[in-house]
Amino acid sequence: MSTHYTADELADAAAGVLTPDQTAEVDRHVVSCPDCSGVAAVQTVRSLLAEDAAPMPDQVFARLGAAVTAEAGRRSSGEAAVELATRQAEHAKRLSTGTFGQNAPTKRHTGIAEVDSPGASQPNLTS
């Protein structure tokens, strides 16, 4: 065959949705074509799809369910949206004022007054 298969056709072959004749033709092409020989992953995908996955342990399932339920509650109450908006505003402020990384100033501007940042050197008022 002089033409190559599309990614969709290769995926269809891997998923087993092609007829047996079509699948055999794709397999022959992939094996014999130097350009497509790297696409031998089709065989790997096909074998992985054929394997049964191990069941999720009950403990993991329960923890995952609890996390999903908690997140759904945060989203429905609006708490998650408020946290996201706050993080985005803080990020935008840091980007616009340059208060991030090693170049962060020792004073931060709160909009009301200048406040010493934690760890900033304090002036010596006794001399």
Per domain, the residue ranges of the chain are: 7-50, 54-99
The tens digit of pLDDT for each residue in 117-127 reads 555 555 555 54
Return the pLDDT at 1.
45
Task: Give the CA diameter of the chain.
Answer: 93
The predicted model gives 103-111 an average pLDDT of 56
The predicted model gives 92-101 an average pLDDT of 72
The tens digit of pLDDT for each residue in 49-78 reads 777 778 889 999 999 999 999 999 988 999
- Cα 50 from Cα 42, distance rounded (Å): 12
Torsions phi, psi for 113 (to 5 deg): -150, 165
Query: Is the full-model pTM beyond 0.85?
Result: no
